A and B are shown apart, each in its own frame.
Chain A
C-alpha cells in the first residue's frame, strides 16, 4: 500500500493475523501493568475494546495492531536494539485498569 494512503482508506481483511494477547510480552517490557486488558478506543470508528482483541500482524519487523471492527491501525510497536517505538496515533485513549489508590 502507498505509505501516503490514509490509514483508514482501505479496509484490510486477510485473516493472516493473531490477536492482542501476543502483545503481552513485548508490552510488559515497557509498562508496569498489563496493557492487554486495557480498553483501546479506535480513532476511526470509535469502537472500544480490550487491546487483547486487536488483530495483530506480527510477521513484519514489529507488531501492527488493527481495530477488529474497522481494521484501522490502532497501535504499532517496533523493538530495536536500544529503542522501542510505540505508535498510538490510531488510539483515542487507553483505559487501563488499576488498583484503587
Chain B
C-alpha cells in the first residue's frame, strides 16, 4: 500500500458501506406462546435470508433519541421478508416488556442481521444426526433448526431435549406435540411434571442425555442453548459421556437480557 495515499484511504474508509446495516422492520402479527413469551412476526424488506440458529440485533429508539438494543434468535425458517422472533418477557427489563406488551402491528423497530455463524445448523453441509438441548427460552434458535428441517423435507434424524419449569412454560407446544417424522422430542420438567409424565420433575441429568439423546458413537452435532448455568452443566455432561467437545456448540443467555 502506498503510504502517500493515507488521506485518500481515510476518506475511502468513511464512504465504504459497512457489511451490515440496520433495516426497518414492521410488526405484522403477534402470537402468545406462553404466559411470558410472545412471538413477533416482522416484515423486514430486503431481508437476505438466514441460517437456523442465527440471531438479529433489535434496536429501539425513543423520541428523545435514547436508543438501546438486544439480541434475539430468529425462531422461524427463512420465508421471504418474514422474520419471527420469540421474546421472553423479563419483568424488570428495559426492552422485552415493551416488545412483549406494547409493540403493536404496524409499529416499527430496527433490526440488524442475520448475524452469527457459529451456532448454526447447515443442512446442506451437515448430514450427521442432530441433538438439540434446550433450557427454557433456549428453545428458540433450536426451533428454527426444527422448522428448517421440516421445510426442507430433510431426513436428518433429530432429537430434542427441552427443559422447562412446568407445562405452562412450554413454547411452541402445539407444533412440537404434532411433531415431525424423524424428530423425537422429550420434555424435561424441572419443577412440576404433568400427570403421567414418565420422569419425575428435576434438572437435566447425564442419565437424561443417555436415555433420550444420541450415543457419542453416532457422532451427532449437538446444539445446547439456554441460561449460562444450564449450558455449562449440559456441556459438561455431554463431554463426560464421551461427546467430542468440537461437536458441541453452545449459546448462552447472559444476565443482561431484558
Contacts and interface: CB of A to CB of B under 8 A. Distances in A.
Interface stretch (A2-10, A24-32, A85-93): A24-32
Contacts of A18: 228, 252-256
A52 B119 contact: yes
A56 interface: yes
Interface residues of B, number: 26
Contacts of B256: 18, 58-59
Nearest to A58: B256
A22 interface: yes
Interface stretch (B83-91, B109-117, B129-137, B189-197): B109-117
Contact of B116 (A32, A52, A53): A52
Contacts, number: 78
Contacts of B255: 16-18, 59
Given A17-B252, A56-B254, A25 B113 contact: yes
Interface string B234-258: 0000000000000001111111100
A62 interface: no
A34 B250 contact: no
B18 A29 contact: yes
B18 A52 contact: no
Interface in B75-117: 112-113, 115-117
A30 B256 CA distance: 23
Interface in B197-255: 228-229, 232, 249-255
A56 B55 CA distance: 16
A21 B71 CA distance: 10
Contact of B250 (A28, A53, A58): A53
A59 to B, nearest CB: 5
B10 interface: no
Nearest to B115: A24
21 contacts: A15-B229, A16-B228, A17-B254, A18-B253, A18-B256, A19-B250, A19-B251, A19-B252, A21-B251, A24-B116, A25-B113, A28-B19, A28-B20, A28-B115, A29-B18, A29-B20, A36-B118, A37-B118, A50-B118, A57-B254, A59-B256
B257 to A, nearest CB: 9
B57 interface: yes
Contacts of A24: 55, 115-118
Given A17-B252, A25-B71, A32 B19 contact: yes
Given A25-B112, A28-B19, A37 B253 contact: no
